[in-house]
Amino acid sequence: MPQLPKNDLIIRIGGEGGEGVISVGDFITQACAHAGLDVYTFKTFPAEIKGGYAMYQVRAATERLYNQGDTFDVLCAFNGEAYNMNRASLKPGTAFVYDSPSDFTPDIPEGVFAYPIPMTQTAKEMNNVRAKNMVAMGAMSILFNIPVESLREVIAAKFTRKGEAVVKGNLAAFERGRELASALKKADPWTLGTPKGKQDVIVMSGNNAIGLGALIAGLEFFSAYPITPATEVAIYVAKHLPKRGGTLIQAEDEIASISQVLGASYAGKKAMTSTSGPGLALMGEMLGMAFMSELPCVVVDVQRGGPSTGLPTKHEQSDLFMAIHGGHGDSGRIVLSVESIHDCIDLTVVAFNLAEKYQCPVLLLSDGSLAFSTQNVPYPNPDNYHVVNRKRWDGKGEYRRYAHTEDGISPMTDPGTPGGMHIATGLEHNEAGLPNYSSANHEAMQAKRLNKLKNAVNDVAPTEVDAADAGIADLGVIAWGSTIGVVREALQRLRADGYKVNGFYPKLLNPLPSQQFEDFGKSCKRLLLPEVNFQGQLAHFVRAETSLRPESYTICGGMPFTPEMIVNKVKEVLA
Q: Both 301 and 406 in a single domain?
A: yes
Q: Both 137 and 279 in a single domain?
A: no
Q: Both 448 and 496 in a single domain?
A: no
Residue 434 lies in a domain: yes
Q: Both 226 and 370 in a single domain?
A: yes
Residues making up the chain, counted from first to last: 575
Residue 476 lies in a domain: yes
Q: Both 411 and 468 in a single domain?
A: no
Q: Both 114 and 190 in a single domain?
A: yes
Q: Both 249 and 351 in a single domain?
A: yes
Question: Bridge-partner residues for 435, per DSSP?
Answer: 429
| DSSP label of 38 | E
Domain count, the chain: 3
Q: Both 245 and 377 in a single domain?
A: yes
Q: Both 494 and 542 in a single domain?
A: yes
Phi, psi angle pair for 496, to nearest 5°? -65, -25
Residue 37 lies in a domain: yes
- pTM, two decimal places: 0.93
Residue that finishes a domain, picked among 443, 460, 477: 460
For residue 235, the domain's CATH number is 3.40.50.970
* β-bridge pairing 464-466 and 95-99: unpaired
Phi, psi angle pair for 445, to nearest 5°? -70, -40
Q: Both 127 and 58 in a single domain?
A: yes
Residue that finishes a domain, picked among 431, 460, 489: 460
Q: Both 96 and 124 in a single domain?
A: yes
Please, are residues 46 and 228 in contact by the beta-carbon 8 Å criterion?
no
Alpha helices in 160-283, H assignment, sequence order: 164-182, 206-217, 231-240, 254-266, 277-282
Is the backbone peptide bond immediately before 378 cis, with ω within 30 degrees of 0?
Answer: no
Q: Both 493 and 370 in a single domain?
A: no
Residue that finishes a domain, picked among 165, 199, 233: 199
For residue 87, the domain's CATH number is 3.40.920.10
**Separation between Cα atoms, residue 103 and residue 106, nearest integer Å:** 10
**Alpha carbon 263 to chain centroid, angstroms:** 28
Angle between helices 563-574 and 483-496 (to 10 degrees): 60
pLDDT tens, N- to C-terminus, the chain (575 residues): 445 556 799 999 999 988 899 999 999 999 999 899 999 999 877 656 566 889 999 999 988 999 999 999 999 999 999 999 999 999 999 999 999 999 889 999 999 999 999 999 999 999 999 999 999 999 999 999 999 999 999 999 999 999 999 999 999 999 999 999 999 999 999 998 887 777 778 999 999 999 999 999 999 999 999 999 999 999 999 999 999 999 999 999 999 999 999 999 999 999 999 999 999 999 999 999 999 999 999 999 999 999 999 999 899 999 999 999 999 999 999 999 999 999 999 999 999 999 999 999 999 999 999 999 999 998 899 999 999 999 999 999 999 999 999 999 999 999 999 999 999 999 999 999 999 999 999 999 999 999 999 999 999 999 999 998 888 999 999 999 999 999 999 999 999 999 999 999 999 999 999 999 999 999 999 999 999 999 999 999 999 999 999 999 999 999 999 999 999 999 999 99
Which of 79, 89, 93 minimizes the C-alpha distance to 21? Answer: 79
Give the residue numbers spanning the domain of 252. 205-460
Q: Is the dihedral of CA 465, 466, 472, 477 positive or negative?
A: negative
